[in-house]
Amino acid sequence: MRMATIRMLHHYVGLLIAPSVLFFALTGAYQLFSLHEAHGDYKPAPIIEKLGMMHKDQKFELKPHRAPPPAAVKPATPAQPKEEGKEKAPPVHIMALKFLFLAVALGLAGSTAFGVYIGVSHARRRAVSWALLAVGVIVPVVIAALPF
């Protein structure tokens, strides 16, 4: 296969999958810190929850919120005061890894966005490039909207 053919295939496939790459990079970035789930006093916006469900479970719907079962709630004892809303902080090495992965996700999203810009502005066949980008957006949205 000639290098020009490989370059053209890379260009077209890249534009087709770029919207999904951006979606997964950005939704994965906020999932690193559990921003897609309610915990403590934090409640994410419904669209954030829905996008998180799309990323994890391929469903664009809200997860039903359930209260913890009564057996899981233990009364506070005098020896152990009840700490409301305080969660144990993860170890430093886990937080460092989360921030590294956040940087990778943002780098992937930025690089993909630059690639899309280059792909649609410097291509010989701009109409084909825009069409592939549109298909890459529309097809996943339509499939996700189908009632199953």
Query: Mind listing the pLDDT tens digit for each residue in 40-93?
Result: 787 877 778 888 878 777 777 666 655 555 665 555 555 555 555 566 888 899
Short-list 146, 125, 119, 127, CA closest to 19: 119
Per-residue model confidence (pLDDT) at position 42: 77
- For residue 128, CA distances in Å to 12, 54, 119, 135 come to 8, 28, 10, 10
Q: What is the mean pLDDT of residues 17-26?
A: 94
Whether residue 133 has pLDDT greater than 70: yes
Whether residue 6 has pLDDT greater than 80: yes
Whether residue 22 has pLDDT greater than 90: yes
Q: How far is Cα 90 from Cα 97, in angstroms, rounded to an integer?
A: 11
